Structure 1
Amino acid sequence: MHIEYDRENDTAYVSLVAHIADGAAVRQIPVTGIGADAEVFLDVDASGRLLGIEVIGAEAALPAEALEQSTSTR
């Protein structure tokens, strides 16, 4: 698992596989019930395998420790 965090846009991406090829994620599934300050989407491949998790409003949805240990993209 690897987390990339964009502080400027407060978005995070949690990769669950070592490498996600361009175009591998063919579907984004919205996750409900997260709260008004965050949006979460599951990226899945054509076989339905979960590749990663996109979090918009990451500070509201993820623990501060996870964001501090992430790779910062900005």
Structure 2
Amino acid sequence: MKIKFDSEADAAYIYLADEIRAGGVARTYLCDPVEVRGMINLDFVANGRLIGIEIMDASRMLTEDVLDEAKC
């Protein structure tokens, strides 16, 4: 698992797969922003396996420890 954080966009991406190829995401599920109090998108491949999680407004949604690790 790998986490990347873009401080300018205030967005984080959690990679649950070693590699996500271009066009590898078959479906993105947009979580209800009211229910999760933010914008979180789940990326799936064709067989339904979850391969990534995108978190917008990441500095509010994630702990400082996670963001510090993601910046490395």
Q: Which runs of 5+ in 2 are unaligned?
A: none
Partner of 2:30: 30
RMSD (CA atoms): 1.1
Q: How far is the alpha carbon of 1:44 from its aligned partner?
A: 0.2
Q: Which runs of 5+ in 1 are unaligned?
A: none
Partner of 1:44: 44
Instruction: For residue 36 of structure 2, give the secondary structure of its aligned residue in structure 1.
Output: coil
**Cα distance in structure 2, aligned partners of 1:71 and 1:45:** 26
Letter in 2 for 1:34: V
Higher helix fraction (1 or 2): 2
**Cα distance in structure 2, aligned partners of 1:60 and 1:14:** 16
Q: How far is the alpha carbon of 1:61 from its aligned partner?
A: 1.1
Higher strand fraction (1 or 2): 1
TM-score with structure 2 length normalisation? 0.90
TM-score with structure 1 length normalisation? 0.87
Q: Deviations over 1:33-59 (max 9, x none)?
A: 211xx2000000000000100011101
Instruction: For residue 22 of structure 1, give the secondary structure of its aligned residue in structure 2.
Output: coil
Q: Deviations over 1:16-35 (max 9, x none)?
A: 01001111101110122211
Identity of aligned residues (%): 33
Corresponding pairs, count: 70
Partner of 1:69: 69
